[in-house]
Amino acid sequence: MMAIGGNTAENHPISMKWIEKARETKGAKLITVDPRYCRTAAVSDVYVPIRPGTNIAYLGGLINYILQNNRYHEEYVKHYTNASFLIDENFSFDQNTGLFTGVEDDPVRNCKRYYRDGETRLYPDEWWYQRDENGEFLKDPDLQDPNCSFQLLKKHFAPYTIENISKITGAPEDVLEESYELFSSTGEAGKAGNILYAMGITQFTHGAQNTRALAIAQLLLGNMGVAGGGVNAQRGQSNVQGATDMAMLFHIIPGYNPTPQQAFHATLEDYFADTTPAQNWWSNRPKYIVSLLKAFYGDNATRANDFGYEWLPKLDGLDHSHIPAYKYMRDGEVEGMICVADNPLVGGSSSRAKMGYQKNLKWLVSIDVVENETAAFWKGPGMNPADVDTEVFILPACASYERDGQKANSGRWIQWQYKAQEPPGDAKSDLWIVNEMFKKLQALYEAEGGTVPEQITKMHWDYDGPDGEIDIVKVCMELNGYNVRTGELLTNFVGLQDDGSTACGNWLYSGYYNNLENPACKRRIREKEGLGFHQEWAFAWPLNRRNVYNRASCDLEGKPWNPDAPVIWWDENEERWVGNDVADIPGTWTLEQSTENPFIMLPEGVGRLFSIGYQGVGALLDGPFPTHYEPADSPVPNLLYPNAIYNPISQRFYENHTVETDEERERYPYVATSYRVVEHYQSGSVTRNQPWLNEMMPEMFVEISEEHAGELGIKNGDTVLVESLRLYNNGEQGHIEAKACVTKRIQPLMINGEKKHIVGMPFHWGFMGMSTGASANDLTPSVGDPNTTIPEYKAFLCNIRRA
Amino acid sequence: MDLSRRSFLKLAGTTAAAATLAGVGLRKASASPSEPLRIKFTKEVHTTCTYCGVGCGIICNVRDGVIVNAEGDPDHPINEGTLCSKGASIFNMSYIFDEKGKPRLNPNRLTKVLYRAPGASDYEAVEWDWALEEIAKRIKDTRDRTLVETVDVGGRQVTVNRTNAINWLGSAWCTGEENYLFHKMVRAMGVINVDHCARL
């Protein structure tokens, strides 16, 4: 097992008990890769310290080690990945700039780009599979052709030698080698290697490529689909999986379908043409979309009006995630905000600057259990309430155990959260609030009309029970899906149609509430023996499948690589897949079809070592292979690609926002990262209002090494000031104030021969609540990954002074 | 709400915390063996933890409509009876307990709808109905002024029905059903600035 960019023992403590069990009973080994000697590291077999923001270097080193030492799972790589696929002969990579072929300037985003979003959507021609005259992919089954994915991968990662990786990351060479040797031993058929990660992988300007690097390593080692394998995101919140499934994000609508774009999706027909591949799973997209539109617009969705497609707002091609949304607020374009159980003035990047931008809001609605910092911004530090004209509405919400509903955990288990007590006073559940809020809005438009009132009035909204208040079962039924004519609940998404005869709010959730007597998500039957899948406990999307891509857990003949932990297997007599899990293969397929397409979500059916955009199932925007770029705030040049700056494809939102000059590097010499502690939760608005938790973890602190403290004359418990470029305005340097925690957990690292100090700090505190303190995110930059625009919270430069 | 460290101690008079206090010699544990267990005669409700993504099962002990204790669900295959410090104190978001173990509403918990007028130095408590009606008016006013109905894409008029003037931030704290209805409301308003903690 490898824990990288996450601290399981601290932030997912109950998972840790299973890791411990595997170590005790199965001889499993644990490698922890982290800038700090964190609680997970403390119980690891191998601990690899790395500089914040150098994960691709570390993982590129792993990939290179696997390839150079023939540690990969050969049969798996040849048949279940695109290793043998030939790539366009003109594909290349520039070692000087760190850029792939096909790059050009992007004047709109103030950065570089590969992807062209003009009238058609194109990746560079050089990023394509070679095909014969019939359109069939050209392959080299022996993996020798210099243009096959495998050889290109090998070439790309050849500079990622242990010597180079040690210089970049600061990890000692022998520790690197030990960890690479140990983890790559899982490449042997029948062994499983598991990667656990969290936001220490994703929250970078190259975060998506970090996860790509994890996936490539796991494909090479044959660890995808097998029991105990995989790339496992440890979700930091109880329903971050579910909220993403429901598309609380600008770029998707429920069930991972793209939000329509004005440039390519003028009509429903255009949308389908652009987003529906000819084969494999996403060829079903029209069924999911039409059923979604029926759930959205009910009887108002007819074939004649494209099922109400026109009422869905279309994107303008720009980014509408958190970072740019606040920039639009600064620029005066955004005038209203509705914030549900979210607290960006603590949890968001460059939070102090954002507090000022919120003055531009005409109105703000905060729905939460407490008055959080985002709602209270008008009286925040440095604000004069008389100058803030924003109207603020605070709607009191429920704690989790005061309301019913389901939540999807990290393993996609959809479990019911039961109500155990009534909320206090006038507090109401979010479900009640959104129902009443939308009913009021709909009634207002019914009565007065307005701009395109149909967009609001035609939305199907009928969730009241007999008492005139929200009936959650009605929402569950719509999410699960039903037959429009009979009202009968659907068994699962296999029954969804594209002719308007079925309605379903989210195809992935179809089956979670498929009967009213004993809904699948409320089941509580443990397995007595097995692999821990617990098939009759709750429900897992899709189709109650617990281990996705499980076809790849078997060899070409359908026999498990590891007979001692068989996930599924091919039953020759019955000619179908059977086993401990629901096979990730359509039931009608032959063994041969399933062997050719073990990764059914991709049109080409195999895992991508080389990532391309193909038939609407897209590649990453910043290249087919992960590439080591420094974080935006970096203390050193890029050792591998001398002319590369931080991710060149990442949008530059603000001027003078990240460290660029040597003078600035001197001003902010220390490499900082942020993290969580077990006693507090995210922006702390919930946990900082609980006496017991505050007793255990009472205040904001900054961790520095003993050596660093000695150099600065700081003692444990001293108050220190921490500064970053984000708090430097008009020649004046601002700071946050915190207690110094001088610790052995942090050690300086030798980066290319130079000693660099590392600084760590939790991000839970803010100016409201029972326990108040400085926000680490006042310091962090609003730069993001080009694919996701997740901010780079986990690596930034700072200075520390005694107060 | 300004709570000093001392008042935390006063509020935290339950068995677990009391044991800690006894340990540092501040005060004798208040739960003497003669007092009945706090969970005696309580109703058990099992629920799912709201913190990290592991998805532990919690048993809540409810007396007179108030959760007086929470513990790990031993039948739950994920946590098998264990909980972390946050999960074990989850009910403090509503009620905290005095030295006699009597529940007292968490003083920072919101129980009223609040409204802050432009330039005002404080909130006033208002009724739900009024607040929801006023919010609907704000949304309508902003949306009606800013909704873009069509744009020209290469000479073709494309219906877009969107506004860039409203931000919606949802949450991974909310259930699937809640987020689904949020999504419907967001798209019905024509809102495109949407995000939540998966990115934040």
- pLDDT 10s digits, A34-61: 999 999 999 999 999 999 999 999 999 9
In angstroms, what separates the C-alpha of A476 from chain B's closest C-alpha? 7
In angstroms, what separates the C-alpha of B131 from chain A's closest C-alpha? 7
What's the rounded mean pLDDT across residues A465-482? 97
Q: Domain locations in chain A?
A: 2-101+122-233, 322-411+420-448, 662-802
pLDDT confidence band for B7 (50 / 70 / 90): very low
Task: Determine whether the interchain pair B115/A391 forms a contact, defined as Cβ–Cβ distance below 8 Å.
Answer: yes
Tell me which chain B residues have a C-beta less than 8 angstroms from the C-beta of A417: 47-48, 50, 175
**Would the pLDDT of A117 be above 80?**
no
Q: Which residue of B has its CA nearest to A512?
A: B176
For A424, the closest of B109, B121, B161 (CB atoms) is: B109
pLDDT confidence band for A530 (50 / 70 / 90): confident
Name which CATH class applies to A2-101+122-233.
alpha beta
Tell me which chain A residues have a C-beta less than 8 angstroms from the C-beta of B139: 336, 441
In angstroms, what separates the C-alpha of B188 from chain A's closest C-alpha? 5
**Would the pLDDT of B14 be above 50?**
no
Q: Does B155 touch chain A (CB under 8 A)?
A: no
Q: Which residue of B has its CA nearest to A771?
A: B3
**What part of A 344-363 touches B (C-beta under 8 Å)?**
344, 347-348, 362-363
When mean pLDDT is compared across A51-60, A705-714, B15-24, B56-65, the lowest value belongs to: B15-24
Tell me which chain A residues have a C-beta less than 8 angstroms from the C-beta of B190: 313, 452, 455
> How many other C-beta atoms lie within 10 A of the C-beta of residue A24?
9
Overall fold of domain B5-105: N-terminal domain of TfIIb (2.20.25)
Q: What does residue A668 show for φ and ψ, rounded to 5 degrees?
A: -125, 80
Mean pLDDT score of chain A, rounded to an integer?
96
| A568 neighbors A580 (Cβ within 8 angstroms) | yes
pLDDT confidence band for B26 (50 / 70 / 90): very low
Smallest CA-to-CA distance from A55 within A202, A256, A155 is with: A202
Which residue, among A7, A12, A14, A395, would best test binding to B if mutated, counting the most B CBs under 10 Å from its CB? A14
**Would the pLDDT of B24 be above 80?**
no
Torsion of CA A781, A783, A784, A790, to 10 degrees: 40
**Would the pLDDT of B2 be above 50?**
no
Q: Does A254 touch chain B (CB under 8 A)?
A: yes
> How many other C-beta atoms lie within 10 A of the C-beta of residue A9?
22
Single pTM value for the model: 0.95
pLDDT confidence band for A118 (50 / 70 / 90): low
Percent of chain A, pLDDT > 70?
Answer: 99
CA B119 vs. chain centroid, Å, equals 28
What's the rounded Cα separation, in Å, for the pair B1 and A770?
Answer: 6
User: By three-state DSSP, how is residue B125 classified?
Assistant: strand
When mean pLDDT is compared across A119-123, A278-282, B34-38, the lowest value belongs to: A119-123
pLDDT confidence band for A416 (50 / 70 / 90): very high
What's the rounded Cα separation, in Å, for the pair A528 and A338?
Answer: 46
Total residue length of chain A: 803
> How many other C-beta atoms lie within 10 A of the C-beta of residue A243?
32
Smallest CA-to-CA distance from A156 within A666, A641, A761, A790 is with: A641
Q: Does B130 touch chain A (CB under 8 A)?
A: no
**What part of A 54-113 touches B (C-beta under 8 Å)?**
none
Task: Determine whether the interchain pair B45/A320 forms a contact, defined as Cβ–Cβ distance below 8 Å.
Answer: no
**What part of A 686-705 touches B (C-beta under 8 Å)?**
686-687, 689-696, 698
pLDDT confidence band for B198 (50 / 70 / 90): confident
What's the rounded mean pLDDT across residues A524-529? 94
Q: Which residue of B has its CA nearest to A234?
A: B53
Q: What does the DSSP assignment read for A559-589?
A: -BSSTTS-SEEEETTTTEEEESS--SS-TT-
Q: Does A543 touch chain B (CB under 8 A)?
A: no
Looking at this predicted complex, what is its ipTM? 0.97
Which CATH number fits the domain A322-411+420-448, given the four candidates 3.40.50.10710, 3.40.50.970, 3.40.50.740, 3.50.50.60?
Answer: 3.40.50.740
pLDDT tens for residues A129-143? 999 999 999 999 999
The dihedral through the CA atoms of A39, A43, A48, A54 has a sign that is negative
What's the rounded Cα separation, in Å, for the pair B179 and A254?
Answer: 10
What's the rounded mean pLDDT across residues A175-196? 98
pLDDT tens for residues B28-80? 445 455 667 888 899 999 999 999 999 999 999 999 999 999 999 999 999 99
What's the rounded mean pLDDT across residues A499-506? 98
On the question of a cis peptide bond just before residue A542, with omega within 30 degrees of 0, the verdict is yes
What's the rounded mean pLDDT across residues A9-21? 96
pLDDT tens for residues A334-370? 999 999 999 999 999 999 999 999 999 999 999 999 9
Task: Determine whether the interchain pair A362/B184 forms a contact, defined as Cβ–Cβ distance below 8 Å.
Answer: no
For B96, the closest of A429, A691, A791 (CB atoms) is: A691
The residue type of A432 is W
pLDDT of the residue at A101: 94
Structure tokens at A60: 């590129």
**What part of B 58-117 touches A (C-beta under 8 Å)?**
58, 60, 62, 65-67, 70, 75, 77-79, 82-86, 89-94, 96, 105-106, 108-117
pLDDT of the residue at B18: 38
Q: What does the DSSP assignment read for B127-184?
A: -HHHHHHHHHHHHHHHHHHH-EEEEEETTEEEEEEEEEEEEEE--TTS-HHHHHHHHH
Residue with tokens 């599979």: A129
For B173, the closest of A341, A410, A440 (CB atoms) is: A341
Percent of chain A, pLDDT > 90?
Answer: 96
Residue A446: Cβ-neighbour burial (10 angstroms; 0-12, 13-18, 19+): exposed
| A767 neighbors A684 (Cβ within 8 angstroms) | no
In angstroms, what separates the C-alpha of B40 from chain A's closest C-alpha? 17
Task: Determine whether the interchain pair A322/B45 forms a contact, defined as Cβ–Cβ distance below 8 Å.
Answer: no
Residues of chain B with CATH 2.20.25.90: 5-105
pLDDT tens for residues A602-658? 999 999 999 987 766 778 999 999 999 999 999 999 999 999 989 999 999 999 999
What's the rounded Cα separation, in Å, for the pair B46 and B57?
Answer: 7
pLDDT tens for residues A212-260? 999 999 999 999 999 999 999 999 999 999 999 999 999 999 999 999 9
| A223 neighbors A186 (Cβ within 8 angstroms) | yes
pLDDT of the residue at A122: 80
| A744 neighbors A37 (Cβ within 8 angstroms) | yes
Helices A55-68/A162-169 angle, 10° precision: 170
Helices (H), A608-699: 662-667, 691-696
Smallest CA-to-CA distance from A628 within A194, A169, A233, A177 is with: A169
When mean pLDDT is compared across A63-67, A377-381, B16-20, B51-55, the lowest value belongs to: B16-20
Contacts of A63 (CB under 8 A, 6+ apart): A153, A157, A160, A213, A216, A217, A220
Tell me which chain B residues have a C-beta less than 8 angstroms from the C-beta of A435: 181
Name which CATH class applies to A662-802.
mainly beta
Tell me which chain A residues have a C-beta less than 8 angstroms from the C-beta of B103: none
**What part of A 233-252 touches B (C-beta under 8 Å)?**
234-250
